[in-house]
Amino acid sequence: MDPFLALLLSISSRLDAKEVSDLKFLCKKEIGKSKLESIQSGHELFNSLIEKQMITSGKATFLEDLLKRIGREDLASQLHQFIEEGEVNAPEEQPDDNEKLRLRTAIRVICDNVGRGWRRPVRELGLSEVKIQRIEAASPFDLREQLLQALLEWQKWKGRDAKANDLIKALRVCHLNLAADQVELELLKLNG
């Protein structure tokens, strides 16, 4: 699966009908009137822009600008980050299946048990301030989503070196011992 197309599909699913209509209006010069009339969704519009080579997996400033113009800075930021940082890690750079399960479990438990103080352990894990600010801007009113995206970003960044134990260690350094205990308990249940 092409990660860029998956991102475009995700962006499309977060657009409402008015936003799609506004995007179509802004694309009148790039896409003919008859073609625009047949477009009903964001991914259909994106497909037309890909066909016209207005957007590619390495060049999406046109789409980024469109998203900003309709007031969807969150989606523009997500697109910009993808272009800037490139595709997700290749499979050989990912943790093994057992560690992926441990990480998914740890991330779920952390999201359930850490609130406003989520930035401290994320900083302890080494995520940059720029990435943290982008994550906050993408979901300004949803702390759980911010934490989830930050932990997923960390996991992507670390690749094969991402370990559930690193998450526990970061929680303990930040004196979030109850959350760390909960993660350890869930991981013990995994091992049966």
* CATH (domain of 46): 1.10.533.10
More confident residue, 43 or 90: 43
In a shared domain, residues 108 and 126: yes
Cα separation of 11 and 81, whole Å?
13
Cα separation of 91 and 73, whole Å?
31
| pLDDT tens string 47-88 | 999 998 888 877 788 999 999 999 999 888 888 877 766 544
Distance from the Cα of residue 55 to its chain's centroid: 19
| pLDDT tens string 18-58 | 999 999 999 999 898 889 899 999 989 999 999 988 888 77
- The answer to whether 129 and 96 have CB atoms below 8 angstroms apart is no
Domain finish residue from 85, 112, 130: 85
Q: Which residue has the tokens 């998203």?
A: 67
What the block records as the tokens of 129 is: 């301030």
Is-above-0.85 flag for pTM? no
Compute CA distances 180 → 39, 100, 106, 126, 157, whole Å.
49, 18, 9, 18, 22
In a shared domain, residues 148 and 72: no
The predicted pLDDT at position 44 comes to 93
In a shared domain, residues 78 and 143: no
**CA torsion angle 10 16 19 23 (round to 10):** 50
Domain finish residue from 55, 85, 115: 85
| pLDDT tens string 94-129 | 677 889 899 999 999 999 999 899 999 999 999 888
- Domain with 14, as residue range(s), is 3-85
